[in-house]
Structure 1
């Protein structure tokens, strides 16, 4: 895990509190500040744990993308908590959450971030007759262990691990 420095953690906490305050003012209702953790892993930038009233952020993605976190990802996750507080358990990106994103935070309610995740989620090149496929680490490991096989949806050929150009044997 990539530890983040305390000043960045402080900026995230301040932004979370600003978003909570903004929601309180817009909705004329008080919200307790959530617990904030920096232990999210993988490709996920952040997550909201509703019953725990907790937000989790990916420290690697945060360190590399602070501006995007401040502008969109933190309000996105706070909106999940606010939707839960106002409406109870609803669809994660349903109309209630979308309403909060638009009316409280004046943001387009995007369900997925657009961050580069190559640092936190490597992919592996696999080949078929018609193209190269990028396979996740989990699927790659399952294929290497013989637990799973995947085939191309276009040509129906089983995928095989591409050999990097520098390691190919020349006849």
Structure 2
């Protein structure tokens, strides 16, 4: 059974994408197909995810959406759609909340706010990632569990932006 709020989030996402159709056509771009999932957890309200096969999807946090559904629809949906559209329109890499994204938010009729301000009680989001201590030649770094696990599996190496050395576990 599908959640009615998730269905509204999908409709609002499709509406924002349709609203940008003239802008995309003007720049010779076709409308992207963007699947919407309502499975995000934690403190993030929404997320744009580029999947390994190259397609893009939007994930929303229903627990946060239920706190203030109308505000969530008015702010979070255009926020995430703006990320998709900016990525689709520009061939170069742009800052996630830079001027291009801010202009897209205004085009979609929303204020360009970087973070949500939904009041979250500690019990609303019990999951918190542990931080893992790593070091380089110049200092200590705290890496998320996700990055820690990628290093452990040999999938990735991270290096310090200061000294350029590969990070090692403490």
TM-based fold match above 0.5:
yes
Aligned structure 1 segments of 4 or more residues deviating by more than 4 angstroms = 136-139
For residues 34 and 106 of structure 1, the distance between their equivalents in structure 2, rounded to whole angstroms, comes to 20
> Are the aligned partners of 1:20 and 1:33 in contact in 2 as well (CA < 8 Å)?
no
Q: CA deviation at 1:138?
A: 5.5
Q: How many residues align?
A: 124
Structure 1 position 99 matched with structure 2 position 112: no
For residues 137 and 17 of structure 1, the distance between their equivalents in structure 2, rounded to whole angstroms, comes to 31
Secondary structure of the residue aligned to 2:59 is strand
Map 1:1-150 onto structure 2 (within 5 A): 6-28=3-25, 29-50=29-50, 51-88=54-91, 89-102=93-106, 104-118=107-121, 119-121=123-125
Q: C-alpha offsets along residues 74-112 of structure 1, whole Å, 9 cap, x if unaligned? A: 00000000000001431110111111111x212221101
* CA RMSD of superposed structures (Å): 2.4
Bigger-Rg structure (1/2): 1
For residues 128 and 16 of structure 2, the distance between their equivalents in structure 1, rounded to whole angstroms, comes to 35
For residues 128 and 88 of structure 2, the distance between their equivalents in structure 1, rounded to whole angstroms, comes to 36
Secondary structure of the residue aligned to 1:68 is helix
> Are the aligned partners of 1:48 and 1:54 in contact in 2 as well (CA < 8 Å)?
yes
> Are the aligned partners of 2:24 and 2:31 in contact in 1 as well (CA < 8 Å)?
no
For residues 102 and 112 of structure 2, the distance between their equivalents in structure 1, rounded to whole angstroms, comes to 5
For residues 76 and 20 of structure 1, the distance between their equivalents in structure 2, rounded to whole angstroms, comes to 12
Q: State TM-score, norm by structure 1.
A: 0.64
For residues 3 and 66 of structure 2, the distance between their equivalents in structure 1, rounded to whole angstroms, comes to 12
Q: State TM-score, norm by structure 2.
A: 0.64
Unaligned stretches of 5+ residues in structure 2: 133-170
